[in-house]
Each structure stands twice: as C-alpha cells, then as structure tokens.
Amino acid sequence: MPARAVTPSLTMLFSAGYLAPYLLPTLVGRLTADYRLAPAAAGAIGSALLLASAAAGFTLTSRRSAGSAAARARAGLALHIAGFALAAAAPVGALPLLVLGCLLGGAGSGTVAAVAATGIAGQHDPHRTSVRGLLLTSAVAGSLYLILPHLGGGHRLPFACIAAWGALALPGTGALPGTGALTGTGQATGTTDAPLPPAGPLPLRAAGSTLACCILLWSMAQNALWGVSARIGLDRAGLSESLLGLVFAVALGAGLLGTAAAGTLGNRLGRALPIGAGTVAIAGCVALSAGAHSALPFAFGEIAWNGVYPFVLSYLLGLAARLDGRGRWAVLIGSASSLGVACGPITGTLLSVSAGFTTTGLVLGAVLLLVALPMAAVARGTDHAVARPAARRSGLAWLGDGTSEHGGADVWAAGSRQDHVRDGVGATRFRPTLHRRGGLATARRARRRPGAGDRGLRPAQGGGPPRAAAGTGRADAGRP
C-alpha cells in the first residue's frame, strides 16, 4: 500500500484515539451534573477511562505480532464505538453501565492510538504525520466545545460524538497493510506492507526509559489541571458554560496554530530546544491559569497553554518514533503518556480539594520544570545515536559528517559492488550517489571486488569474472 494512502488513515486513527482525552473537562463536568457525583468521583471515572486506554497500549506492545494492523485497528474501533455508545445510552442513575461503557471505550481508544503510533513510527517523516493527527484532533475537539453548549446539557452528547468520530474512522482501515506491522521498508520505498526483519531487543533503552518516565509526569501534570479547568472557570473565574466553552474552543484553536507552527518549523532548531523551552513555557501557563481569579488571566493562561502543548507534544511523538523504527518505543511511550493522562484528573481533583487551585498550579508547574531538562537531554543525545545503528542494521555504513559538498548532513553509503573507483594507489574510495530524503544525504558505498581494482577492471553483471571497462583502464569508466 502506498505511504500516501496510509497517512490519512493513520491521521484519522490518531484523532479517534486522542479525542476522549481532549474532551475530558466537559465529560467530567457533565458527569458531575448528571449523576450528582462529587468532583473526586467524576474525576475517578475519567481516570478509569484513561487507565483502560493506557492498559490497552501496553498490552498491544507485548502482543504486537498478533493480527494485522488493519485487524487491530478494526477491533479497537469496534470497542471504541460500542463502549462510548453504551456510555451515551446509559440512563441517569445507571452508574455501573456508564463505568462499563467508559472502560470499553477507553480500551478501544488505547488500541486505536497504539496502532496509529506504530504506523506513524514507520513513516518517512513521523513528526509531520504526528502534526497532522494533532491538527485534526484539535480541530474536532474545538468544534465540539463550540457546538455542544448550544445543544443542551447532559452526558449523552459528548459520548455520542466520540463514538460517531470512531465510526467515521472505520472505513479508512482498509488502507492499512494486511501484514503484522505498519513499519519496514516503507520508509525507503514508499510502501508500508513489506515485511520487517526479525525483532531484536529494544534499542536505546536508557533514552527510551527516561523519556517514558518523564512523559508520564509531563502528561499527568497537564491533565491534572485540564481535568479541573472547568471548575476553575465556572467557580472561581465566574464564567458561564457558554463562555467557558468559547474559551476552550479558542484555546484548541490556538493549539491548531501551535501544531501548524511545529509542522512549519520542522527540525530546523532540533528537538531539544522546542521540547525544553516549550515545557518551561507550559509550566508558567499552568501556574497562571490555576491561580486566576478572573476571566482574563484564566482565558490567557488556557489559550497560551493549549497553544504550546501540542507544539511540544508533536516533537515528543516524533522523538519517540525515532527511537525505534518498528514503533515499539512509540507505543510504550504513548502508553506511558496515557497512564499520566489517566492519573491527571484524580491528581488534580485531590490537589485542588486539599490545597486549593493556586497551590495546585504551583506544584504542577514545578513538576513540569523538573522533567524539562531530562527530556531535552534525551532529544539532544538521540539524533546521532539513533541514526548510526539504524543505518548499520539496514546495510549502510556511516562515512562521517558531510562537509560543504553535502550541506553538513551525515553521509551514509549503501553497499553496491559496482560503485567503486580506484584512487590510483590500489585502494577503494567512495563515489557518492546522493539522495535527499528529509535533509539526509546518502551515498552508495563502493565495495572493492577482489582482483578488480588494480587492473582497472570492473565487476561483471551477475557475478561473472571482472571485465575491462570499454575504452579505458578506469574501473568506473562507462558508468551512466
């Protein structure tokens, strides 16, 4: 299947898997009103939904070879649709039925998000595909925040919209490959259904483990505030539900701008600076929003925070995908993020009830500052550490840093017995055939065939005896 046909399907799967966390404030708020739950109890239901999502991601990682990507996506979407439809249909007072629907829907969302993360890791440019997924998710969530307040209260509409979006993603699963993985030679050939080499141990375990632990805390800190943002806006900033929905919609619109900025900027500044500086900015926005006593600082904090959050998240997702081309680290780190998201609502509720909103913002901001440096360090140290082993596993040899001729990019050489030339002293040197992909210059490696270099001969096609190049003694003469 061509990569260009797979990318829209992955984008839809990504948005279906992440839509429920984006709508978490309105879900928790409406459950509190409909079922007359305490804030901690409503937050616990939201946490249960997201814990089911994280558990599904971890399970899929451990059983990755079971079934094709398309089959796993369809199974996840079926759970997603059935679970959230059940939650939408649960009558007021039938709390066990609602919780069951949330657990099933969360498990389906986690499965869908894991399939999307695995597929994104196999794309030629994972960062760009992640940006597209975040753009679509922010656009859908922002539209729902604008529309839902005008369609009446109750928990049914938000859950029904999440289920309906999963149903819209279902037809696109036909574009996914039928083999067991989404990654492989598609990075080089433009296809994604070629088989992968046998799986080895997880590469870069220290970097991957550090990033997984940090992104768990990073996600938990932000979703702790996100889960109580509606209460801050309604109870302390004095906003009505319509104005609060407008603030959230504008905030998610700012998220669209932040995501678009990440796609435009790409890797021009590397990954370390956007991740580190962006996390520091998020910490300030979290403290401002949580400490607000009026509409203006609350709205500014929420809008600025939601503008920076997807900007940084896109780089984190791209970094996770870069750690392992098979997508295992992408799924594990995505599941760690889901676990942090799951712990967020109950953490935010407990902190705000016991210490107040202002102290909650300061504590969460401190946690974000604590993880900013390790994440930036992983991003800074990973680029070359990932590129060299990946090239060796695919039959490439690293030739060193390119200079003026190659624009400063690392130069890699792929094995070919027909691309060697003599340097006049019996040694073999490289004759680059450059390919530009994502800014990386590659060159075909010259391999000297025994007996073919010193006599000015070139290897014959099909492995026959070496023959002289027509009209010259040079081994590379006559090449097109």
Claim to verify: residue 388 and residue 405 sit in the same structural domain = no
pLDDT at 102: 93
- Going by pLDDT thresholds of 50, 70 and 90, the confidence category of residue 199 is low
pLDDT per residue over 332-346, tens digit each? 888 888 788 888 878
Tell me if 185 is assigned to some domain.
no
Number of domains within the chain: 2
326, 360, 392: which is the final residue of a domain?
392
pTM above 0.75, yes or no: no
CATH number at residue 91: 1.20.1250.20
185's torsion region: left (phi>0), alpha (psi -120 to 50) or beta?
Answer: alpha
- Same domain for 326 and 455, yes or no, is no
3-class DSSP string for 128-189: HHHHHHHHHHHHHHHHHHHHHHHHCCCCHHHHHHHHHHHHHHHHHHHHCCCCCCCCCCHHHH
Is residue 221 included in any domain, yes or no? yes
Host domain of residue 414: 395-468
Domain stop point among 370, 392, 414: 392
Looking at the fold, whether 235 and 332 belong to one and the same domain comes out as yes
Question: Do 62 and 27 have their domain in common?
Answer: yes
Whether residue 422 sits in one domain with residue 292: no
369 and 461 inside one domain: no
On whether both 375 and 456 belong to a single domain, the answer is no
Q: Burial level of 91, CB count in 10 A (0-12/13-18/19+)?
A: exposed
Out of 336, 357, 392, a domain closes at 392
Q: Do residues 464 and 321 both lie within one domain?
A: no
| Closest to 375 (Cα-Cα) out of 347, 336, 401 | 336
Q: What is the DSSP string of 423-461?
A: -SSS-EEE----EEETTEEEEEEE-PPTTTTTTTEEPPG
Per the structure block, which two tokens stand in for 334?
């995505």
Between 86 and 245, the more confident residue is 86
Q: Do residues 306 and 357 share a domain? A: yes
Share of the chain above pLDDT 70, in %: 72
Residue 344 in domain:
yes
Q: Are 301 and 425 in a shared domain?
A: no
Give the pLDDT confidence of 111-145 residue by residue, as tens digits: 998 888 888 877 788 888 888 888 899 889 888 98
- How far is CA 450 from its chain centroid? 47
Tell me, yes or no, whether 308 lies in a domain.
yes
Q: Is residue 190 part of a domain?
A: no
Residue 371 lies in a domain: yes
Mean pLDDT across the chain: 75
403 and 321 within one domain: no
Sign of CA dihedral 385, 390, 395, 399: negative
DSSP letter at 232 equals: I
Instruction: Tell whether the torsion through CA atoms of 98, 45, 70 and 16 is positive or negative.
Output: positive
In a domain, 194, yes or no: no
pLDDT at 125: 80
- Distance between CA atoms of residues 474 and 468, nearest Å: 8
400 and 381, same structural domain? no
Is 479 within the bounds of a domain? no
Average of per-residue pLDDT across 34-56 = 85
More confident residue, 18 or 402: 18
